[in-house]
Amino acid sequence: MNVDTLIHQYFPAAGNVCIEMFDEKNIQQVYRRLVEVLVHQPEVETSLLQGMSYCFYEVMDNVLIHSGKNVGIVITNYSESEHLIQILVADDGVGIRASLAENDEYADVTEPQALEYCIKDKVSDGKGMGFGLYSTSRLINTAGHKLIIRSGGHTLSANGEMTVTESEPWTGTIVYFELRSDLDIDSASVVDHRTDPAEEFDELFLEDAPGLEELW
């Protein structure tokens, strides 16, 4: 994967982006390290982080479950002045169409159809629940600027409306999204109230935070 190309295309105005490679052994550490950068930004709404962190991990985990590769790359950026969080997760695996085609129900889908289906509920190659990109699309509808999913020779763009267009070929899958960091959201609605992202987030990132008695 050409990291410089990804940065040029998706982070043209960013200063110092965070770049991490992840695999089955270090995915938890990479995920926590990148989210903790945002946890320590007082301008970022906690409820936004609760919904974002759930979706972020799901997108990373998709690489290891569905791409056929054992490593992926994640690039993130936070702009305080623009109230903007940017996240990109990429792999050079089989791509979304080939992955979905492992499920007999989607064996004959075209590449554009596969991109349209992948953000729908319970659409999967059979190795997962088909919930990660669906919840991410709900997050974008709630607090996002845009969602871009690129695989093969097509790209899905969603920012209120969804379009699938031909694009420069990419072997594998790129998931890129932008979020408003200053919005207070209902994180449970992002996951369709099927789990409690607030509780999960608090257990991972806030349980060791100092209480008021320790700050004074």
| Gap between the Cα atoms of 94 and 72, Å rounded | 13
2 pLDDT band, cuts 50/70/90, is confident
pLDDT tens-digit readout, 157-188: 998 789 999 999 999 999 999 999 999 999 99
Percentage with pLDDT > 70 across the chain: 96
Output the domain CATH number for residue 160.
3.30.565.10
Domain that includes residue 74, residue range: 18-182
Q: Is residue 207 part of a domain?
A: no
Residue 100 belongs to some domain of the structure: yes
Domain assignment of residue 166, yes or no: yes
**200 within some domain:** no
pLDDT tens-digit readout, 49-101: 999 999 999 999 999 999 999 999 999 999 999 999 999 999 999 999 999 99
Number of domains in the chain: 1
pLDDT value of residue 166: 98
Q: Strand 84-91 to strand 71-79: parallel, antiparallel, or no bridges (unpaired)?
A: antiparallel
Q: Is 5 a member of any domain?
A: no
Give the confidence band of 216 by pLDDT, cuts at 50, 70, 90.
Answer: very low
Q: Are β-strands 162-180 and 144-158 bridged in parallel, bridged antiparallel, or unpaired?
A: antiparallel
Asked whether the beta carbons of 197 and 188 are under 8 A apart, the reply is yes
Residue 121 falls inside a structural domain: yes
Would residue 190 count as lying in a domain?
A: no
Q: Three-state SS string across the chain, please? A: CCHHHHHHHHCCCCCCCEEEEEECCCHHHHHHHHHHHHHCCCCCCHHHHHHHHHHHHHHHHHHHHHCCCCEEEEEEEEECCCCEEEEEEEECCCCHHHHHCCCHHHCCCCHHHHHHHCCCCCCCCCCCCCCHHHHHHHHHHHHEEEEEEEEEEEEEEECCCEEEEEEEEEEEEEEEEEEECCCCCCHHHHCCCCCCHHHHHHHHHHCCCCCHHHHC
Q: Phi/psi of residue 6, each to 5°?
A: -60, -45
pLDDT bracket for residue 208 (50, 70, 90): low
- For position 159, what pLDDT does the model report? 81
Per-residue pLDDT tens over the stretch 14-33: 988 999 999 999 999 999 99
Residue 7 within any structural domain of the chain: no
Q: Does the pLDDT value for residue 190 go beyond 60?
A: yes
